[in-house]
A and B are shown apart, each in its own frame.
Chain A
Amino acid sequence: MSMSSDPMILLWTLAKILVIAVPLIIAVAMYVWWERKVIGWMHVRMGPNKIGPFGLLQAFADVTKLLIKEIIIPTNANRFLYFTAPLLAVIPALAVWAIIPFDNGAVLSNANAGVLFLLAMTSLGVYGIILAGWASNSRYALLGAMRSAAQMISYEICMGMALVCVLILAGSLNFTAIVEAQAGGKGLFDWFWLPLLPMFFVYYISGVAETNRLPFDVAEGESEIVAGFHVEYSGSAFALFFLAEYANMILLSFLAPILFLGGWLSPFQGWHLGWFSQPGWWWLFLKFFIFATSLIWLRATFPRYRYDQIMRLGWKVFIPISIAWIFVAGLFKYFNVVTIGH
């Protein structure tokens, strides 16, 4: 197609990309603020409350601080790879938003192979971490990178199998089609969480492990290996890892509703409750907010897992459940147990 050669369409697409990327970066800042605030409340303290109303500008002050700090390059580090690593972490974390729909039709690229692109981008995230550990040439960094990489690839298998189950029911690799396949007169009981209930939990827990969040954050356990793969990074190079991690958490909190909880569909669809039964982006953002807050809640509630327990959970519990549920989902689809679409 010659669309890309038209400068107006190019500029328009560029504008749309910024309309996604800039709010995403601001959302990361607000998410950090919300995380510190919620954890503060759970610890019965105030959380950030000095900078701006309710401490809202705290995250922006932190970003500014990071930007004016020295970027330290360890003497033994491989300088080129040392700077490639944070870029490799942040590029997939941002670019994956090209295929995430926010409402029916509100998506930058309604690509048919959206799920494949998602898998490709989440797989690339591992390279940033392992390169960071290797290029730093520091023991703690390398240990953290190895742990983190082994953990991420292990849980990627479970996530992939959960996606396969969704695809079996939806019959499409397109995210908009996946959401619309969950529409129906029974509202929230038509969504995929019900027939795929075990996979919903597998996907959510794997997502937490994939983003190296508590209780699966052995890769950066402060008391064991200080900060893991990014121990040598400082200033804006560290800020890029931070941005990537929180963008991935926000992504997880968007994907879980899109894949299993009907995306922008109303939980009361077909219940004749007027406005409450209408689909809309606000439903997706409400579900996103609940998931994003639940990630913080997990952090405040659970102690850190041991590394061998994490690997056992991934390989010996989730993978058998996933393989079994692929059979079940296949039979569901073949015998038309689950209604798809209207």
Chain B
Amino acid sequence: MLAGYWPILLFLIVAGGIGVALIVIGWIAGPRRPSAEKYSPYECGFEAFEGARMKFDVRYYLIAILFILFDLEIAFLFPWATVFSKIGIVALVEMFMFLLLLVVGYIYIWKKGALEWD
């Protein structure tokens, strides 16, 4: 059953090898001439006066939380989508009820303004 999957693991290892090899080649082939200005973080012509790790708009976190909700829902839909025609009307109705609950939540976050970006 799992026999079809080990080439995928091997491909992951080869892909990692290609990535590491390119960085190592660049590290060896490239020059190294240190200078304080060159190694400072990019700014528009002045020295960075504080760290880059500043506070962030809470909407990004909100988007991340909503993403987890919707992505989980898709994870539930995947097995249903593959087999529901074999189960019949019960699976269809139950998943429609599940989706309707999701739509209620979706309308709620829309009305609450969680999807606004201005």
Binding site for B on A (CB under 8 A): 1, 3-4, 10, 13-14, 16-18, 20-21, 25, 66-76, 83, 86-87, 90-95, 97-99, 108-112, 115-117, 123, 134, 136-142, 146, 149-150, 153-154, 156-157, 160-161, 163-165, 167-168, 171-173, 226, 231-232, 235-237, 239-240, 243, 307-308, 311-312, 315-316, 319-320, 323, 326-327, 330, 333-334
Contact = CB atoms under 8 A, between A and B. Distances in A.
19 contacts: A20-B11, A67-B29, A76-B41, A87-B23, A91-B16, A95-B12, A108-B8, A109-B8, A111-B8, A138-B41, A138-B42, A142-B52, A142-B54, A153-B63, A156-B71, A165-B81, A312-B117, A315-B66, A316-B110
Given A87-B16, A226-B42, A164 B77 contact: yes
A165 B70 CA distance: 15
B45 interface: no
Contacts of A153: 63-64, 67, 71
Contacts of B32: 70
B99 to A, nearest CB: 6
A1 B3 contact: yes
Contacts of A157: 67, 70-71, 74
A161 B74 contact: yes
8 nearest A-B residue pairs (beta carbon): A236-B26, A308-B117, A94-B15, A138-B41, A167-B81, A160-B74, A1-B3, A98-B11
A243 B18 CA distance: 11
B52 A76 contact: yes
Contacts of B83: 171
Given A231-B42, A316-B115, A76 B7 contact: no
A95 B16 CA distance: 9
Given A167-B78, A326-B77, A136 B15 contact: no
B22 A142 contact: no
B41 A137 contact: yes
B55 to A, nearest CB: 11
B4 A112 contact: yes
Interface of B: 2-8, 10-12, 14-16, 18-20, 22-23, 25-27, 29-33, 36, 38-43, 48, 51-54, 56, 60, 63-64, 66-67, 70-71, 74, 77-78, 81-85, 89, 92, 95-96, 99, 102-103, 106, 110, 115, 117-118
B52 A138 contact: yes
B6 A4 contact: yes
Nearest to B22: A236
User: Which of B32, B39, B53, B74 has most A Cβ within 10 Å?
Assistant: B74
Contacts of A334: 85, 89, 92
A86 B48 contact: no
Contact of B54 (A136, A139, A167): A139
A156 B67 contact: yes
B118 to A, nearest CB: 5
A165 B42 CA distance: 44
A161 B48 CA distance: 43
Given A91-B12, A139-B43, A236-B30, A171 B82 contact: yes
B49 to A, nearest CB: 11
A240 B19 contact: yes
Given A14-B14, A90-B18, A167-B78, A71 B118 contact: no
B26 A67 contact: yes
Contacts of B7: 13, 16-17, 98, 108-109
Contact of A308 (B52, B54, B106, B118): B118
Contacts of B81: 164-165, 167-168, 171
A5 to B, nearest CB: 10
Contacts of A226: 42
Contacts of A156: 67, 71
Contacts of B89: 334
A188 B30 CA distance: 51
